[in-house]
Structure 1
Amino acid sequence: MKRRTLLATAAAGFGLSLGGGALAAGMDHVKACFVYVGPIGDGGWTYQHDQGRLAVIEKFGDKVDATTYQESVPEGADAERVLTQMALSGSNIIFTTSFGYMDATNAVAAKFPDVKFEHATGFKRDSANVSTYNARFYEGRAVEGLIAGRMTKSNKIGYIGSFPIPEVIMGINSYYVNARKVNPNAELTVVWAYTWFDPAKEADAAKAMIEQGVDVIASHTDSTAPLAEAAKTNGAVIGFGQASDMAVPEYMPTPRVTSIIDNWGPYYVERVGALLDGSYQQADIWAGIKGGEVLIGEITEAVPAEVKAEAEALRDAIGAGSYHPFTGPLKKQDGSDWLAEGETPDDGTLLGMDFYVEGIKGDIPK
């Protein structure tokens, strides 16, 4: 998949694959709207997208109206209704910020060809006015996995999955592969919460892992509930901030020892800016540590200095392109060959990932 930078302002590293023609002329004013799967106070995924919205307001001032957003929109018919209302309200660009909005986004976009639609983490671009954007979360999972493998005392590490889609499976595999590289005795427990944001379910998942002896927990859900459960163990269990830094005093220096931060602001600023200056084109982006879309939060003093240095070196190697979190030899869970010695997967393989790597126990839900 070819990816290149759209504008000079994208030199921060957002890879963009472009299609269609640019607008003939810019706009004097842009109305940008945002659809969120959770509340902006979730402390994680939606909070971080809303920080991106606020970055747009700060950057462009009265050239942009980015005050319209709707929280906790269910993925399904409700999303299509909300999107239709936003399009009818005079929106120029609408950002839909969850995988489950994909079909609704494309359905409404077909009815409003003059409105630009930007869908996070999806892959369908059925109309010329639909773009997609994503982050290489699996790169951050590799750093978490290294820390988990080094710091576990029980050799039992855990991962709370939201839904069994490639994005999440990718993260589980990266976490496990890179934990095992530094600790071949590490065993992984996966608990599926079947939610993006439900603090009670997330807490139950963390609690179940802790009862099984897991002492390092990563998650692909949106609340701080897993960290709250870990905090009850008086330092026996550590975890990671997810989507946002989650660097709040009650969780530092432990259980939150570092975090994966989704940095959406530069992308939102660039896309709205492209509407204003007339350079907007349909795009498909997938950026990561190199581009600054995936950040690793502060590694606290709860992590030994040598492990911190190792984790930062891994982060830097991924960013420089000298290391890929999936580097062979690697096999699939069923023992079949996947990657040969030194081989790395292409993006298409990653984006269609529907299998566990060798060593992970349990089945992926269908």
Structure 2
Amino acid sequence: MGKALLGLAGAAVALAVGAGGAVAQDKLKVGFVYVGPISDHGYSYQHDQGRLQLEKELGDKVTTTYVENVPEGADAERVIDQLAAQGHKLIFTTSFGFMNPTLKVAQRYPDVKFEHATGYKRSANLATYSARFYEGRTIVGEIVGKMTKSNVIGYVASFPIPEVVSGINAMTIALRKVNPKAEVRVVWVNSWYDPPKEAEAAKALIDQGADVIVQHTDSPAPIQAAEERGLFAVGQSSDMTRFGPKAHLTAIVDDWGGYYVDRTKKLLAGGWKSEDTWGGIKDAMLHLAPYNPAIPADVVATADKTKADIVSGARHPFAGPIKDQSGKEVIPAGKSATDEQILKMDYFVEGVVGKLPK
């Protein structure tokens, strides 16, 4: 908690001074709360890139503050409350575990607007937003399905919540379409950002025969582990090529800047309202990092077509028939999973090895 408060105070002072004394007080104060460090080169890093874009585009109208390394739980509530008490009128909280703390603080500050990433609880002054990460994982599934030689894909996962589970399933479904013999092995690290645990998980998966590592955690440690072993990997949230130039096939890159600019403009114009935003590739809330030159041209062509089909609506990542691990049909032929079903996904599909923690 001490570090979070020090980070908050430091950021506030630096930004106020940089903005030029009393002039800064006339600007809209926008706050950001991150679960990891902005140096994670993954999820929190990308949210901060969005904050910087907001400053660049609306710098004469806003001043921003960020707090990094905020644990999910009581600490988060105190940090969010302090931002509101310090006069921030728009606050973005960027991790699933910040959901209840954000709601509690929003109830205490009805004149402040709050935005929570990846959650589902809203109120008159609390909106939610997320990206359809599973769309990117569908494209990744086809790529890794063609690149694997061992037919074992390792998946370093954070927490068994629907956002993560749907990503594993989307990748596995696409993987098995192009390579029916392939399987996915998952190791849970129960953390969004823990480089040692992420590296250990990646190495354990490699020892189990995985020759491609995919992750839904925030550090580049799994990429580095794959690079050390001479294998392939897929990055998370940002382009992680520099951490494993030979290993890095691509990455699912989150792009929050446009959303942050749009929502701030709406508040400045008096048109902000509580709503849920769930954007995908079509909405430019995510894209894929440049492909590794090692990926054959025909595989790139397949990936590009899948991307185009997702954008046009010709392909749904969860189009039936889909069976779970037990062989039970969960999505029938001719149907696709609804948004509600994706947001509540609590099962693994065929092709995933291991049980889903409950």
| TM-score greater than 0.5 by the shorter chain | yes
Partner of 2:77 in structure 1?
80
Give the conservation status (yes or no) of the 8 Å contact 1:29–1:276: no
SS of 1:327 mapped into structure 2: coil
- Determine which of 158, 161, 164 is the counterpart of 1:165: 161
Q: Among residues 193, 199, 206, which one is paired with 1:203 in the alignment?
A: 199
Deviation of 1:336 after TM superposition, in Å, equals: 1.5
> Could you tell me which of 42, 46, 49 is aligned with 2:47?
49
235, 239, 246: which one pairs with 2:240?
A: 246
Equivalent position SS for 2:275: strand
Output the CA distance in 1 between the equivalents of 2:300 and 2:353.
Answer: 29
Of 321-330 and 165-174, the range deviating more from structure 2: 321-330
Residues 1-366 of structure 1 mapped to structure 2, 5 A cutoff: 29-66=27-64, 68-125=65-122, 127-234=123-230, 237-248=231-242, 250-252=243-245, 254-366=246-358
Cα distance per residue 1:39-68 (max 9 Å; x no partner): 0000000000000000110011121011x1
1:145, 1:178 within 8 Å by CA — same for their partners in 2?
A: yes
CA displacement at 1:361 relative to structure 2: 2.3
Unaligned residue ranges in structure 2 (runs of 5+): 1-25
- Structure 1: which amino acid aligns with 2:142? L
In 2: Cα distance, 1:358 partner to 1:301 partner: 31
Is the CA contact 1:30–1:275 (under 8 Å) kept in the aligned structure 2? no
Give aligned pairs, total: 334
What 5-or-longer segments of structure 1 have no aligned partner? Answer: 1-27
Asked if structure 1 preserves the Cα contact closer than 8 Å seen for 2:124 and 2:273, the reply is no
CA contact (8 A) 2:176 2:351 kept: no
User: SS of the counterpart of 2:59?
Assistant: helix
Q: Measure the CA separation in 2 of the matches of 1:339 and 1:74.
A: 37
| Cα distance per residue 1:168-211 (max 9 Å; x no partner) | 00000011110000000001100001000000000000000111
User: By percentage of residues, which structure has more helix?
Assistant: 2
Aligned partner letter, 2:92? F
TM-score, scaled relative to structure 2: 0.92
Q: Secondary structure at the match of 1:195?
A: coil
Letter in 1 for 2:236: Q
TM-score (norm 1): 0.90
**Distance (Å, rounded) in 2 between the aligned partners of 1:292 and 1:266:** 8
1:315-353 Cα offsets, whole Å, 9 max, x none, are: 111111110111111112222211222311110000000
Q: Secondary structure at the match of 1:240?
A: strand
